[in-house]
Amino acid sequence: QSVLTQPPSVSGAPGQRVTISCTGSSSNIGADSDVHWYQHLPGTAPKLLIYGDNNRPSGVPDRFSGSKSGTSASLAITGLQAEDEADYYCQSYDSSLNVFWVFGGGTKLTVL
Amino acid sequence: EVQLLESGGGLVQPGESLRLSCVASGYTFNRHGMTWVRQAPGKGLEWVSTISDTGSTFYADSVKGRFTISRDNSKNTLYLQMDSLRAGDTAEYHCAKGRGGFSDGYFDLWGRGTLVTVSS
C-alpha cells in the first residue's frame, strides 16, 4: 500500500487530454511538501517530468503540466501521443514516517 | 554524456549478500546526494536509501540494519551493500541523482537499473 495514491490506469485517444491524480495526506502533500512526477518505461531509466509541483526540466514538452491543491496533486498531459504510453509516478516527502521520500503506486497510461 | 550506470545485480539465495555499484559520469558527482530506488516485479517504485553529499545516510525501515549505502567520490561511484537478503528484496534497483533537500527533494537523473533476484 503506497503512501501516495494514484489510479492504476488511465487511457485516452491521440490528441486528447488526460489527468493523473496523486492523493496524499497532511504529513506529505498537505504539509506543503513538493510533488514531483516521473515517466517510466519498464527496462529503461525513469525520467523526471515535473519537479517542484509545476516546473518542467529542460527538454520536457509543455504538453506536460503539474498542479497541487490541499492534499492532492495532478499531472496533466495534453495532445496525447503514442510515445506517451508509459507508467507515471508521483513522489513527495513524508514527515511522519521514517520513510522520507515516498512514491505513488504508479499509473499506467494507455494511448488508445 | 550525463549518465548513471548500475551493475552488480544477480541471483542469490536468501541470507546471502550482494554489492551494487553505480558509476556516474558527466557531472560533478561529489556535489549531489545519491539514492537507491527499487521496483519489485509488478509493483511501483520504492525509495530504499539515500546518502547526502556530505555523507549522511538514510534508510527505509524495510532495509535498515541489512543494507549499507556508501560512496567513493574519487571514483564517482555509489554503492549499496545488501546483506541478509530476503525474497522480498527481489527487484530492479535504480540509482538516482538527487536535487533539493528534504521537503523539496527529487531525482533528476536515473540509471536503467540492475536486477536482484533472491530465491532458493
Residue B19 above 80 pLDDT?
A: yes
pLDDT grade for A97, boundaries at 50, 70 and 90: low
Mutation for testing the B interface, residue in A32, A101, A102 having most B CBs under 10 Å? A101
Residues from A in contact with B at Cβ < 8 Å: 2, 31-34, 36, 38, 40, 43-48, 51-52, 57, 89, 91, 93, 95, 98-106
- B111 in A contact zone (CB under 8 Å): yes
- The pLDDT tens digits for B53-95 are 999 999 999 999 999 999 999 999 999 999 999 999 999 999 9
b/e code A84-95 from CB counts within 10 Å (16+ = b):
bebbbbbbbbbe
The DSSP string of chain B is --EEEEE--EEE-TT--EEEEEEEESS-GGGS-EEEEEE-TT--EEEEEEE-TT--EEE-TTTTTTEEEEEEGGGTEEEEEE-S--GGG-EEEEEEEEES-STT-EEEEE---EEEEE--
CB proximity B33 to A under 8 Å: no
Of A93, A98, A106, the CB nearest to B45: A106
pLDDT at B3 over 90: yes
**Residue A98 confidence class, pLDDT cut points 50, 70, 90:** confident
Task: Say whether pLDDT at A10 is over 90.
Answer: yes
Residue from the list B58, B106, B110 with its beta carbon closest to the beta carbon of A45: B110
Distance CA A57, CA B105 (A): 14
Residue A99's pLDDT is: 75
Alpha helices in chain B (DSSP H): none
Q: Name the residue in chain B with its Cα closest to that of A29.
A: B103
pLDDT in tens, A63-87: 999 999 999 999 999 999 999 999 9
Task: Return the residue in B62, B104, B114 with the most chain A beta carbons within 10 A, the one to mutate for interface testing.
Answer: B104
The Cα of B4 is separated from the nearest Cα of chain A by a number of Å equal to 9
Cα–Cα dist A50/A95, whole Å: 21
**Mean pLDDT in chain B?**
96
* Per-residue model confidence as pLDDT tens digits over A36-72: 999 999 889 999 999 999 999 999 999 999 999 999 9
Give pLDDT, residue A100: 87
Instruction: Note the pLDDT tens digit of each residue in B21-54.
Output: 999 999 999 999 999 999 999 999 999 999 999 9
Q: What is the pLDDT of residue A12?
A: 96
Residue B10, Ramachandran bin (φ over 0: left; ψ between -120 and 50: alpha; else beta): left
Residues on chain B touching A51 (C-beta within 8 angstroms): 99, 106, 108
